[in-house]
Amino acid sequence: MVGHNRRIIAASLTAGLMLANLPAQAWTPEELKRLRAGDVVVTSTSRNRGGIIGASIVVPAPPRLVYTLVADPQNTPRYSPEISAVTVIEDQGLQKRVRMRVRQFGLIDEEHEVVSTYQPYSSVTWQQVKGRFAHQDGAWKVSSFDAGTILTYHLDIDVGASLPSFFIEAFLRTTIPNLMRNVRKQFGT
């Protein structure tokens, strides 16, 4: 149990540092135009065996409602077709350990466990503590924008296998924008 608690503490510290290190959003006029038009704005950096991807979208709902959707692990299968089942293993209020059944690259069903840390009505960060990938952490961030919310997603992943970086980036540049559009669909158009 001591090792388990150390992993949760380490995941919490890492997730907090990861959120603190996210770049501040400074939208260019072109990005703002695209966001207001309903596009998903994506940035990515490839590296051997993985990369970092960020995506933002405008959601026609107040930040509190958008946060409530993405902060509840049980909602994940509603907007992420890669997730087929979710179980909260441990709930410590602002931190949860969650097990998910995930379809990797549309081919392999596997279980992953993450520790999620919550900043109410602002952000959710997570770090994989068990699963196939060598490293995976990410974050949802919500903030007011015009009459709705700007929802930003961040993922830093190392798949742990030698796959061509263009394959991983192409997969993420397709999957992540679809994820963002699926979240927006939960609130209408």
Give the type of residue at 146: D
What is 2-23+31-185's CATH number? 3.30.530.20
Biggest distance spanned by C-alpha atoms of the chain: 51
| Per-residue pLDDT in tens (0 to 9) along the chain, 189 residues | 545 444 444 444 444 444 444 445 688 999 999 999 999 999 988 777 778 899 999 999 999 999 999 999 999 999 998 898 999 999 999 999 999 998 765 666 789 999 999 999 999 999 999 987 888 999 999 999 988 999 999 999 888 776 666 777 777 788 899 999 999 999 986
End-to-end CA distance of the chain: 46
pLDDT tens, position by position, 64-111: 999 999 999 999 999 998 898 999 999 999 999 999 998 765 666 789
Residue 74 has φ and ψ, to the nearest 5°, of: -65, -20
